[in-house]
Chains A and B, each alone.
Chain A
Amino acid sequence: MFYREAGDFKTSYRDDGQTFPIRLDRWGYYALLAVAFLVIPFVIDNYWANAILVPFLIYAIAAIGLNILVGYAGQLSLGTGGFMAVGAYAVYKLTTSFPDINIVIHVLLAGIITALVGMLFGLPSLRIKGFYLAVATLAAQFFLVWLFNKVPWFYNYSASGQINMPERSLLGQVITGPGTTPAAKYLLCLVFAVAVAWVARNLTRGTIGRKWMAIRDMDIAAEIIGVNPLNAKLTAFGVSSFFVGIAGALFFAVYLGAAEVGEAFGLNKSFLILFMIIIGGLGSIFGSFAGAAFMVLLPVLLKNVLVGGMGWPTDLAAYVELMIVGALIIIVLILEPHGLAQLWRLTKEKLRLWPFPH
């Protein structure tokens, strides 16, 4: 009923292997992109950009990054906050040292620097697995936060240890700093999010993604069929950290504008992003977006309903919000342990058959 697949024939392997094999899905995807690029920039205001869409897109990038490592390659990491901090401090140092170079190049360079740091901390993954690896990455988290707090060079010797993003522009449009228009901010993050999602999708369905998944499913078997674990694990750490670094750079440069490492990139951030991919769905690009939306948008929505709509006291609303979000996390995981992505997959299966399920 909803999906009309009659007449939707595939005549080539290429067609058969595309990301959205059902025509209706493909149209939906194009429509979504068109709305995101052509409609939202014209109607977005400061609140929607700064409080909702920009954080959602940035967290989605970070979630995709972590999903590659945890969901596709099966290497549990608790160092996401620390790696985001590397991205943030890298873009800060680069843009204050070389102010004339385009900020987009700096963001990408920050991603590369984070990738190198990530690979360095990924080295232990060759010897240790599972929870032990989680502890090793936890060490990375604490070490990186300590480093950025301790060494004044990273924050240009400012009195308070805060880093502040100066104003930078791209194609004549200011894209960082307080003078940025909401549309510019949003579009920059959207371009990065779409690009990251596209790259991640194509990496994960190619050779390299299959190697990651082979390692995840059973590393000894993968080694026997010829997957080099050093190669696979380190590329997973590298690619994952590259995306997480971009997310950290945007988080600082575009979203917050000023940051303090312990507060903005603490252990809480690592857990938040880990929860996003667990709730969204491990090993799914859509799940990364869904998880980010769940963890970023739901609290804001609840706050606006409870305080703005129903006039509750702010503290009561804040506690109730925590309880509702916590309860929903548990409910979602009980109903569907594989996350929102699986829920969506099942819904789609049902919709394809509806109203004749047999």
Chain B
Amino acid sequence: MNFRLTALAAAAMMAAAPALADLVVPNLSYRTGPYAANGTQYADGFNDYFTLLNERDGGIGGERIQVPECETAYNTEKGVECYESTKGSGAIVYNPLSTGITYQLIPKVSADGIVLYTPGYGRTSAKNGKVFEWVFNAPANYWDGASVAIKYLLDQNGGSLEGKKIALLYHNSAYGKEPIRTLQELAEKHGYTLTEIPVDAAAGQEQKSQWLQIRREQPDYVIMWGWGVMNQAAIQEAANVRYPMEQFIGIWWSGSEPDVLPAGAAANGYKALAFHGVGQDYPIYDELQEHVIAPGKASQGGQHVGTVLYSRGMYAALVISEAIRKAQELSGTAAISAAQLRDGFEALDITPERLAELGLPDFGPPITMSCENHGGSGMARVQQWDASAGKWNLITEFTEPDQEVLQPLIEEDSAAYAAEAGVTPRCS
């Protein structure tokens, strides 16, 4: 009896699922809540790139891309609700733009067999494809970011950070704690001392005591892992205590326009990492103008086109669409499944030539992934804010992180996850 009822229920559910004509790429965005200023721009870029593909090329390989949006407010419970509500529509890949929600979704997507793409955020050790079959975090992850920042500082100091003091100002959450291990390891290798200064997520705006500590200890450099209003407050406070902006470096999530604009001219010279270009000096913007913005199809009317986070959302959409293309090529079918998309991601190879073809020359690093490597090369560059011109300027080329230090850490952390979750390594 029980079996029959369950079977009936299952059959009813299958019948209720809609016919899967399009490829579904849900956009778990946040346009409300404490991180809305940042989340909105990213979501717009993500939407607009798929709109461009749909309008200009009729989708990818003839399949239109549906991007249903769901509001998470950066809240894990709402994220779970969004995941469950969009999963049934045949979603093939998720990009939640939240490290907390990513941690929540990793076990779920692994059980459900759906791809999770977390460019520049999420769980760093997901780079190890042997353990994290369904998760991808190319082109760069937090540990890559930490290592590139330290490499940049090494360059600035003639190759040695011996005796320097570096402070890490971080969002007191899973996101902000990610780089600590790496920075500690690198401190041992390069001989700097690391001071960790947490900022509570709930009190992101209140950083007086943290900056008092920075003023007292006078670190040579401050590295920031912030998000949302915490970034603005930190840059404002840095200006208030007259901390030199040239010695203040943010991760890529702390380097967008909403972060520096409130501090006005005082933010001039602030640096941040980046794994993609900024501004509208790319050929793709002409096409975007023609097919998306001018006909009035841009997300929210296109008010954020060309900003850092808009570019990042667009870049995430670009990588996903290239993986879809690859998957279609490999499987020989246009209506790919999530498992085929995973194979597409693992075979992904975005060369500089391909980027130029897509209208974004020299926009991001080349991405090559494989079964073992779900994280690409990890290369990033440094950008600096020019307050008078109101724009970010890239000041270094793409730099490789110190994989010698990072790789053992990734192995260790992913092995811990594999043991905890009972995962047998694959790719042998």
Contact B202 A177 (CB under 8 A): no
A103 smallest CB distance to B (angstroms): 15
Contact A42 B5 (CB under 8 A): yes
- Taken together as a complex, chains A and B put the C-alpha atoms of A88 and B305 apart, in Å, by 43
- List A230-271 residues whose CB lies under 8 Å from chain B: 255-260, 262-264, 266-267
Checking A96, A160, A178 against B174 with a beta-carbon cut-off of 8 angstroms, the contacting residue is A160
A175 smallest CB distance to B (angstroms): 14
A342 interfacial contact with B, CB 8 Å: no
Contact A166 B421 (CB under 8 A): yes
B100 smallest CB distance to A (angstroms): 5
B181 interfacial contact with A, CB 8 Å: yes
Say yes or no: A262-B124 contact (C-beta < 8 A), given A314-B70, A318-B71.
no
B77 interfacial contact with A, CB 8 Å: yes
Of chain B, the residue at the smallest CB distance from A260 is B174
What class of interface size applies to chain A in its complex with B? 35 or more
Which one, B80-88, B319-327, B382-390, is touching chain A? B80-88
- Taken together as a complex, chains A and B put the C-alpha atoms of A188 and B422 apart, in Å, by 23
Contact A314 B107 (CB under 8 A): no
Convert B75-113 into 0s and 1s, putting 1 for each residue whose CB lies closer than 8 angstroms to a CB of A. Answer: 111001100110110000000000110011011101110
Contact B81 A160 (CB under 8 A): no
Contact A159 B77 (CB under 8 A): no
B178 interfacial contact with A, CB 8 Å: yes
Contact A314 B202 (CB under 8 A): no
Contact B107 A177 (CB under 8 A): yes
A45 interfacial contact with B, CB 8 Å: yes
B47 smallest CB distance to A (angstroms): 11
Which one, A28-36, A46-54, A195-203, is touching chain B? A46-54
- Taken together as a complex, chains A and B put the C-alpha atoms of A177 and B420 apart, in Å, by 11
B172 interfacial contact with A, CB 8 Å: yes
Contact B202 A266 (CB under 8 A): yes
Contact A258 B107 (CB under 8 A): yes
Of chain B, the residue at the smallest CB distance from A55 is B77
Contact B107 A164 (CB under 8 A): yes
Convert B215-255 into 0s and 1s, putting 1 for each residue whose CB lies closer than 8 angstroms to a CB of A. Answer: 00000000000000000000000000000000000000000
A337 interfacial contact with B, CB 8 Å: no
Contact A159 B177 (CB under 8 A): yes
- Taken together as a complex, chains A and B put the C-alpha atoms of A45 and B73 apart, in Å, by 24
A146 smallest CB distance to B (angstroms): 9
- Taken together as a complex, chains A and B put the C-alpha atoms of A263 and B74 apart, in Å, by 10
B300 smallest CB distance to A (angstroms): 8
Checking B31, B76, B103 against A164 with a beta-carbon cut-off of 8 angstroms, the contacting residue is B103
Checking A42, A266, A322 against B9 with a beta-carbon cut-off of 8 angstroms, the contacting residue is A42
B94 smallest CB distance to A (angstroms): 14
A162 interfacial contact with B, CB 8 Å: yes
- Taken together as a complex, chains A and B put the C-alpha atoms of A178 and B125 apart, in Å, by 19
A13 interfacial contact with B, CB 8 Å: no
Say yes or no: A160-B99 contact (C-beta < 8 A), given A46-B87, A314-B31.
yes
- Taken together as a complex, chains A and B put the C-alpha atoms of A43 and B7 apart, in Å, by 10
Contact B123 A258 (CB under 8 A): no
A356 interfacial contact with B, CB 8 Å: no
CB-CB < 8 A to B80: which residues of A?
Answer: 50-51, 255-256
Contact B420 A166 (CB under 8 A): yes
- Taken together as a complex, chains A and B put the C-alpha atoms of A322 and B6 apart, in Å, by 37
B150 smallest CB distance to A (angstroms): 17
Contact A160 B422 (CB under 8 A): no
Contact A257 B108 (CB under 8 A): yes
Of chain B, the residue at the smallest CB distance from A49 is B84
Sample (9) of A-B pairs whose CB atoms are under 8 Å apart: A43-B9, A47-B88, A161-B173, A177-B111, A178-B110, A255-B80, A258-B106, A262-B200, A307-B70
Given contacts A47-B87, A159-B180, 19 further A-B contacts (CB under 8 A): A42-B2, A149-B198, A159-B177, A160-B103, A160-B123, A160-B174, A160-B177, A164-B103, A178-B107, A178-B108, A178-B110, A255-B80, A258-B103, A263-B75, A263-B100, A303-B71, A304-B85, A314-B69, A318-B71
B residues bordering A, Cβ < 8 Å?
2, 5-6, 9, 12-13, 29, 31-32, 36, 40, 69-71, 73, 75-77, 80-81, 84-85, 87-88, 99-100, 103-104, 106-108, 110-112, 123-125, 172-175, 177-178, 180-181, 198, 200-202, 413, 416-417, 420-422
